[in-house]
Structure 1
């Protein structure tokens, strides 16, 4: 089995468990603090992502790419230098950025987010800066060596610790007010990151083949060339993520102002934004762990192939990643759309956000393509082009949110439409950039078959749900099972799911391959 497939499968299973645990985490938060509390949490959460983006400086992708190339040449000393220069850079940033965040928080909560209850959730973010600084470097190092186990296990540890603490902290702080409960939920995330870092440090200490402390400062003084090589990838990557993070940071601000123009109260705006970003979007993004696993594995796999000028392998890996994204994303879209209302009822005890699910689900397939495409561009030294694409999409998203959100006829629905415009536009721009850079064949047959399978599966699922007299949970299970089985049969019969895709699965892979493809 290739390192690419092996690494993807490890991240795939870890991502599945992490997403499920993360979803349980969202459910716990929603149950304890309600839509208003989720709204406060989600208004502060973009700042958390922005902090992470600035602290990482795009280095995980740059480290992964450069370490993969160094490993292909067998240059261990280069790998050590990459690691030391990266650690020095991120730690320096964290020393500057942590006090700055604490000082700016009161202004941010009162004047930009226009809800001073976000003060405490924002303050709870500050301790995460130095933690992220170190963990991001170690993750990039392991990914560059195409060893995905430490990164996968660290994700699981983070979620387990987070979900263990989330109920306790929100319950403990809730008597003091919703804002304190939201801060407790954010603090649980920070402690989860700390637990993840401790595991990564232990794994690094056990598996590294060199001493980082030896000649540490000497490597920093002589690391100008290494720093430059890292920044060639890191800065455009940071630019892309910064654009996305700044857009996400501005999003609740623009939402608040635009809905105020439309005559929506602050409390109603917070609840609506919480339903969209805290209820509907997590469900839509649940299947994206597949694409995240693919994109993480793609960077070192394509970088390694590029280092030896194997362009045929580059196209093969990309075709493989996009085909998996297409087939898995198609099923996810259908199941979420057909089962939108019962899923929301079971997950959150409310149908709030169901309309957002049905509005966004059909076009969310574009979102599932975005991450693999962006990783491929970064590995091909086209991170700057990816950054420009992200900028165009972010500007379009914010503009549509403000224009439509400020119209009473649209309101919070205009915000949802703005999100759709953003990710669809970025995905199309990424794909156009890729077509200009490499030789790539578009197999229209795959897209037509998948579209037909989605329509047929959705229709059968709708008819099944309509005539079932089961209670809500059996309805979800039965409907999802029927749709998944029908879709799987179509995919195997048309060879969009192939024997090699299944054989790579650990444990039962060979058995399933013989059973499904005999």
Structure 2
């Protein structure tokens, strides 16, 4: 258990660092490009994310599942084979998709998929990154299979740092050549970022050579080496449904890009106004929603190989226990994040993006924090169990509903861009509910109702306090300081209410990495001292 949570903690810390760096970049980029420039950036980047998701997003999960299974059976030869075959396959796939994106970019504008032709340059600028990111995904899947998350976390930090520095620098240097050039420079920055990530992972792979040698010495003599074709078939069989299930946000952004600006123009917005509104939703609201999801993304990445390992050893109780722990941790963070962001949506928008106009979209989208978090955890459980097709099917059912709701709700004048936000919430909620049904069928319930109610009540108390505190502080210290102090007060209030309602117990703390080990040691020391006093 501790190893699973330790891996999640490492990825979460790395994710926080990545998001903090990214948040600063968003501030600079928003000020350099404005809402219209952000809209151009968001029209190009989802294309890249979609292609990468289709081509390689399932590979790290598929590799981690296969390696975790082989590691549980002490099959080091199988681990080596899986990694080498995956690397060769992804090198080929990366080259094909990178060239394909560059060549087909013009047709996206010609066919009307991209509504603003100025985004074309940005799409082509992303093509080189596709080849490199395939290599990145292969190495990450390899280390995640060992439940060794330090290389993945470190590479994420280096990738984001190089990407952000380049993005801000190029946007600033190219803005005089035109808004489309600046947006294209921002998108091209993805390439040096992923390249830095590959270099970091290659370094960790080299350092691990002694560990691989030791594992080969303990090779299970009964294991049978698989052929290359067998490995490829198994990899594809796992990766394709996982890819389809893991392309949630890219598909959402692509659907929004294709439908939302047009429907806004249908109700009277000019093109630049529709692009600006689109930027508020996808470039600002979605970015803020992504901050709390760092934890659930990390939990999901760590949960997949942990569940796969237990499934290979037929330990159903371990799977259920780990799943419940992951779901509880997710709820402890996503529910208050949803409440807090909803209450402070407009002040936060003003503070971070220097505009209050994204506030309504942020408030509506805040519900996606809980719904997407639940979808990620349940999908990870099903993927770890080898039921990789189920999350894919639930995603596509949700997407069909979203397409319909995007078209209908965005064209309601009273809703506008908020209609698209509600369509996204319903999409995530439907996919999560369907996943929960299947998880319950295979391993039982993973969400105790009483525990969930305690967390919700604690979050509501926190939200009420935050609303009152912000209103009181606003006239005294101004918006930015009022938001900062309110967030601190909200965290303290939430922690206190969790302890009062016993939503968090000492047992939960003992399961935590690092702090849990120290608390257990302290508890044992106290028990020894008490025993000595009595006897």
Give TM class, smaller chain.
Answer: over 0.9
> Which residue in the other structure is 1:361 paired with?
366
Whether 1:239 aligns to 2:244 is: yes
> Which residue in the other structure is 1:126 paired with?
127
Checking the alignment, whether the CA contact within 8 Å between 1:44 and 1:121 is kept in structure 2 is yes
Checking the alignment, whether the CA contact within 8 Å between 1:502 and 1:509 is kept in structure 2 is no
Residue 220 of structure 1 and its aligned partner are, at CA, apart by 12
Checking the alignment, whether the CA contact within 8 Å between 1:121 and 1:186 is kept in structure 2 is yes
> Which residue in the other structure is 2:483 paired with?
476
Determine helix, strand or coil for the equivalent of 1:351. coil
**Deviating more after overlay: 317-326 vs 98-107:** 98-107
Aligned residues: 509
> Which residue in the other structure is 1:48 paired with?
48
Cα deviation, 1:337-386, whole Å, max 9, x if unaligned, reads 22222211111111121011222324531122121111111111111111
> Which residue in the other structure is 1:155 paired with?
156
Give the alignment's TM-score, normalised by structure 2: 0.90
After TM superposition, the structure 1 = structure 2 runs for residues 266-277 of structure 1, keeping only pairs within 5 Å, are 266-277=271-282
Q: In structure 2, what is the Cα distance between the partners aligned to 1:348 and 1:103?
A: 35
Q: In structure 2, what is the Cα distance between the partners aligned to 1:160 and 1:16?
A: 13
> Which residue in the other structure is 1:405 paired with?
410
> Which residue in the other structure is 2:221 paired with?
none
Q: In structure 2, what is the Cα distance between the partners aligned to 1:390 and 1:253?
A: 19
Whether 1:447 aligns to 2:452 is: yes
Cα deviation, 1:324-344, whole Å, max 9, x if unaligned, reads 011111221222122222211
Q: In structure 1, what is the Cα distance between the partners aligned to 2:424 and 2:163?
A: 28
- C-alpha change, 1:402 and 1:68, in structure 2 (3 Å) is same
- C-alpha change, 1:380 and 1:220, in structure 2 (3 Å) is closer
**Deviating more after overlay: 247-256 vs 120-129:** 247-256
- C-alpha change, 1:457 and 1:507, in structure 2 (3 Å) is closer
**Deviating more after overlay: 434-443 vs 498-507:** 498-507
Q: In structure 2, what is the Cα distance between the partners aligned to 1:254 and 1:85?
A: 40
> Which residue in the other structure is 1:180 paired with?
181
> Which residue in the other structure is 1:167 paired with?
168
Q: In structure 1, what is the Cα distance between the partners aligned to 2:335 and 2:520?
A: 22
Give the alignment's TM-score, normalised by structure 1: 0.93
- C-alpha change, 1:514 and 1:285, in structure 2 (3 Å) is farther
> Which residue in the other structure is 1:145 paired with?
146
**Deviating more after overlay: 435-444 vs 150-159:** 435-444
- C-alpha change, 1:514 and 1:158, in structure 2 (3 Å) is same
> Which residue in the other structure is 1:510 paired with?
518
- C-alpha change, 1:33 and 1:509, in structure 2 (3 Å) is farther
- C-alpha change, 1:121 and 1:382, in structure 2 (3 Å) is same
The unaligned stretches of length 5 or more in structure 2 are 214-223, 527-535
Checking the alignment, whether the CA contact within 8 Å between 1:144 and 1:300 is kept in structure 2 is yes
Residue 309 of structure 1 and its aligned partner are, at CA, apart by 0.6
Determine helix, strand or coil for the equivalent of 2:292. helix
Cα deviation, 1:245-299, whole Å, max 9, x if unaligned, reads 4453232011122223223221111000101111112112211111111001001
After TM superposition, the structure 1 = structure 2 runs for residues 276-295 of structure 1, keeping only pairs within 5 Å, are 276-295=281-300
- C-alpha change, 1:243 and 1:420, in structure 2 (3 Å) is closer
Out of 330, 335, 353, which is 1:325 matched to? 330
Residue 307 of structure 1 and its aligned partner are, at CA, apart by 0.6
Q: In structure 2, what is the Cα distance between the partners aligned to 1:59 and 1:430?
A: 21
Checking the alignment, whether the CA contact within 8 Å between 1:94 and 1:130 is kept in structure 2 is yes
Determine helix, strand or coil for the equivalent of 2:477. coil
Checking the alignment, whether the CA contact within 8 Å between 2:245 and 2:392 is kept in structure 1 is yes
Out of 463, 468, 475, which is 1:463 matched to? 468
> Which residue in the other structure is 1:227 paired with?
232
Q: In structure 2, what is the Cα distance between the partners aligned to 1:512 and 1:160?
A: 37
- C-alpha change, 1:311 and 1:505, in structure 2 (3 Å) is closer
**Deviating more after overlay: 249-258 vs 179-188:** 249-258
**Deviating more after overlay: 294-303 vs 5-14:** 5-14
- C-alpha change, 1:362 and 1:56, in structure 2 (3 Å) is closer
Residue 323 of structure 1 and its aligned partner are, at CA, apart by 0.3
Cα deviation, 1:216-256, whole Å, max 9, x if unaligned, reads xxx99931111222222112112223576445323201112
Cα deviation, 1:418-448, whole Å, max 9, x if unaligned, reads 1111111111111112112222254111111
Cα deviation, 1:51-77, whole Å, max 9, x if unaligned, reads 211331611101001101111111110
Determine helix, strand or coil for the equivalent of 1:112. coil
